[in-house]
A and B are shown apart, each in its own frame.
Chain A
Amino acid sequence: MKREMKMTEDVDHLIEVSGLKKTYQSGDTSVDAIRNMDFFIDDAEFVTIMGPSGSGKSTLLSIMGALNHPTMGKVLVDSLDIYALNAEQRADFRSDYIGFIFQSFQLIPYLTVLENVKLPMAVTGRKKKIQDQMAEDVIERVGLTAKAHRLPDQLSGGEQERVAIARAIVNKPPIILADEPTGNLDSKTAGDIMNLLQSLNRDGHTVIVVTHNPDMEAYAGRTIRVQDGECFT
């Protein structure tokens, strides 16, 4: 399933979303988080998904990240229908294709920076030497080499965000999905983080950022607006 980061020419779009619908059932009432969405994202694009809270943008991100089964519709990634896969295959898909950056960082508190960054490689079967090299490279890239052996609670918010980014890119996934990556940061640090994401995009990663902050639009090549479970590109 592993693919190279550079797209082959016969595939039109990296991600194709069609007829997407997601309904949450809670007791007798059902809520449509996503009513009907069709869009595509090309390889090496930097896209922001904008919308007010409750508009369904986080649900959309989790569906694109193969974490959340849609009620209807299809998500093709690299021409692969990801919800036709079984749960374990989807886990492998996430390992190969997706780098997640979660809201409020979500680091493992009992692992050091280096261990947190190496976490996604625990299931890839790479040799320890190669893992160390790859992890050190990305930690250097996010500028945390000096703090590689600290635990997350010994870092500032901006530093924790960088660890989360390093963890998301260590396996060199083609797609980076970020959910409000700057939500908990001051505007200067937020700008640094967006610059870092921009430079990752220049290296060929497809970056998709969910945010409600209009300032972030400036960094992206394209914006998909989401409102009431529908999207406007």
Chain B
Amino acid sequence: MKLHNISFGNISRRKGRMLFLVLGLVIGISTVVTLLSMTDSMTRDIEQKLNQFGANIVMVPKTENLALSYGGIDVGGVNYSARELDEAKLADIKTIKNSKNLSIVAPKILGSVTVNEKKVLLMGVLFEEEIALKTWWHKSEGVFPQKENEVMLGAEVASQFGLKAKEAIFISGEVFTVAAILNPTGASEDNAVIAELGAAQKLLGKEGKISMVEISAFCQGCPISELTLQIAEKFPEAKVTAMKQAVMSKMQSIEMFQSFSFGVSIIVILIGSLLVFVTMMGSVNERTREIGIFRAIGFRQSHVMQIILLEALLLGIIGGLLGFVLGNLIAWGLIPIVIKDSTFAGINLPLGVVSILMAVALSLLASLYPAFKAGNMDPSEALRAL
């Protein structure tokens, strides 16, 4: 017989009463777990949607000139004579601190070429990256280019030259096959011939150079401006700009929900602890007689406190576990209803460990005074309740 046998006996043989004691903890922990799961799912959701928005960071060579265009309307200036970045150096982007938050890095070369004696914008891209980035690109015919000698035409270019898929096109004297034609996008690519990066660099005589890089990044913990700074540090010769609006407004709403969740969690946890305190206090009062017996047969004050706190510890573990399970169940049921097109992000085991630790801490804290009171009960007073 050890003191813990008494605590175990009490908890295992009075399950109904113990479940009631655990209720406060279960309510508190499950609320926190539900809210955290919901924020997590929302962030994931946003992350996916942001990728569909396209690039949110743009890297271009530093230039002395100010841009003379707005909303796609050019009012002059030297657009195609810009300086270039080194393609080889681009690999350095993988060495920034938050490199895992970069989902797509799409370099491109821009220049003008001649088709049928007309000047046309040539855009060299890595098709794999570009197509992932520009989710709004849809081809009206053909397949996306697979080979070096295949190109894709913007809608405007195709109609001006009357070209269709699988036909040949002469670009600055070299022959290419039109693999696909894009639907109109309303953006610059309508007027461009789009080729594989390597082929375009050769045509323009700019091997190993790139004109700009579009980057799609998302970072839960860090603001996008932090990522921008990290990239700018690596590429001092480039100007790195964050296209803040989209990310900022989305992040702002998540942050608001996060602080809301945080506030609600604190209130619920407070109420939960109060419930634990009240029920523990009630339990101690109810066990006055029992505590009197313990004291009469030679238990010290500290022994009685140990029994109560040990029970609190066990209840904390049980409450934390139940709360975690319940919270996940609620989140699983609630998320598809509350957040459109979103699903439960899955069980987060580290959160489970934190839940149990938190429940144990709360339970112990809320039981400190009841345990102290139990230990200090006057045994003769306690026995008068006999």
Contact = CB atoms under 8 A, between A and B. Distances in A.
B379 A67 contact: yes
A90 to B, nearest CB: 9
B383 A102 contact: yes
Interface stretch (B274-282, B291-299, B321-329): B291-299
A183 to B, nearest CB: 12
Which of B10, B289, B290, B293 neighbours the largest number of chain A CB atoms within 10 Å of its CB? B293
Contacts of A108: 6, 9, 290, 293
Interface residues of A, number: 34
Contacts of B160: none
Given A106-B386, A108-B290, A111-B6, A67 B303 contact: no
Contact of A167 (B297, B379, B386): B297
B386 A103 contact: yes
A151 B13 contact: yes
A151 B302 CA distance: 27
Interface stretch (A73-81, A91-99, A194-202): A91-99
A67 B1 contact: no
A131 interface: yes
Contacts of B290: 108
A111 B383 contact: no
A94 B13 contact: no
B378 to A, nearest CB: 8
A36 to B, nearest CB: 20
A95 B383 contact: no
A122 B2 contact: yes
A165 to B, nearest CB: 13
A120 B5 contact: no
Nearest to A121: B1
Contacts of B14: 110
Contact of B6 (A93, A119, A128, A171): A119
Contact of B1 (A91, A94, A102, A119): A119
Interface residues of B, number: 26
Contact of B3 (A102, A115, A122): A122
A95 B296 contact: no
Which of B296, B298, B303, B379 neighbours the largest number of chain A CB atoms within 10 Å of its CB? B298
A79 B383 CA distance: 26
Given A115-B1, A121-B1, A62 B380 contact: yes
A123 B10 contact: no
B316 to A, nearest CB: 20
A110 B2 CA distance: 15
Contacts of B298: 91-96, 98, 120, 123, 171
Given A68-B380, A122-B1, A131-B1, A111 B9 contact: yes
A88 interface: yes
A91 B303 CA distance: 10
Given A106-B289, A110-B9, A151-B13, A91 B301 contact: yes
A94 B296 contact: yes
B296 A67 contact: yes
B383 to A, nearest CB: 7
Nearest to B380: A68
A100 B296 contact: yes
Nearest to A69: B380
B297 A100 contact: yes
A123 B9 contact: no
Interface string B287-323: 0011001111111111100000000000000000000
Interface string A115-151: 1001111110000100100000000000000000001
A223 interface: no
Interface in B370-386: 379-380, 383, 386
B54 to A, nearest CB: 66
A93 B295 CA distance: 11
Contacts of B9: 108, 110-111, 115
B380 A91 contact: no
A58 to B, nearest CB: 9
Interface of B: 1-3, 5-6, 9-10, 13-14, 289-290, 293-303, 379-380, 383, 386
Interface of A: 62, 65, 67-69, 87-88, 91-96, 98, 100, 102-104, 106, 108, 110-111, 115, 118-123, 128, 131, 151, 167, 171
16 contacts: A67-B295, A91-B300, A91-B303, A93-B298, A94-B295, A108-B9, A110-B9, A115-B1, A115-B9, A120-B298, A121-B1, A122-B1, A122-B2, A122-B6, A128-B1, A151-B13
Given A121-B1, A122-B3, 6 more contacts: A62-B380, A67-B379, A91-B303, A102-B383, A115-B5, A151-B13
